[in-house]
Structure 1
């Protein structure tokens, strides 16, 4: 497992300390979860950009999507 060192501004650190104290979890738990979520979202965004750029990939208008979903 890798070790990471980082600096946080005081306001962010206070919020993180409060969350850790209130939930009885270490600050590293929340930092790891936040990083995992960010990386997943970034990956999804990159996939969406690639699909949008692919002219052969079928796209639907909002009206078409609603109709296809029966909404």
Structure 2
């Protein structure tokens, strides 16, 4: 495991401490989980942007998608 040091504003540290106390976790636990969640979201967004920029990726018209989703069986 690697240790990382960061400067964080006092109000953010206070909010971090409140969250840690409420969840009965350490600061490190909260920070680790926050970073993991951020990176998962970042990867999802990066993949979506990559697909949007791919001219070979098939797309459908919004109205067509809406009709298909709302169609009754």
Task: Please confirm whether the aligned pair reaches a TM-score higher than 0.5, indicating the same fold.
Answer: yes
- Counterpart Cα distance in 2 of 1:26 and 1:64: 49
Which residue in the other structure is 1:65 paired with?
A: 65
How many residue pairs end up in the alignment?
71
- Give the TM-score, by structure 1 length: 0.84
Structure 2: runs of 5+ lacking an equivalent? none
- Counterpart Cα distance in 2 of 1:28 and 1:68: 46
Q: Is residue 47 from structure 1 mapped to residue 47 from structure 2 by the alignment?
A: yes
- Give the TM-score, by structure 2 length: 0.82
- Counterpart Cα distance in 1 of 2:11 and 2:61: 43
CA RMSD, Structure 1 to Structure 2 (Å):
1.5
Which residue in the other structure is 2:24 paired with?
A: 24
Q: Could you tell me how far 1:68 is from its partner in structure 2?
A: 2.8
Which residue in the other structure is 1:6 paired with?
A: 6
Structure 1: runs of 5+ lacking an equivalent? none
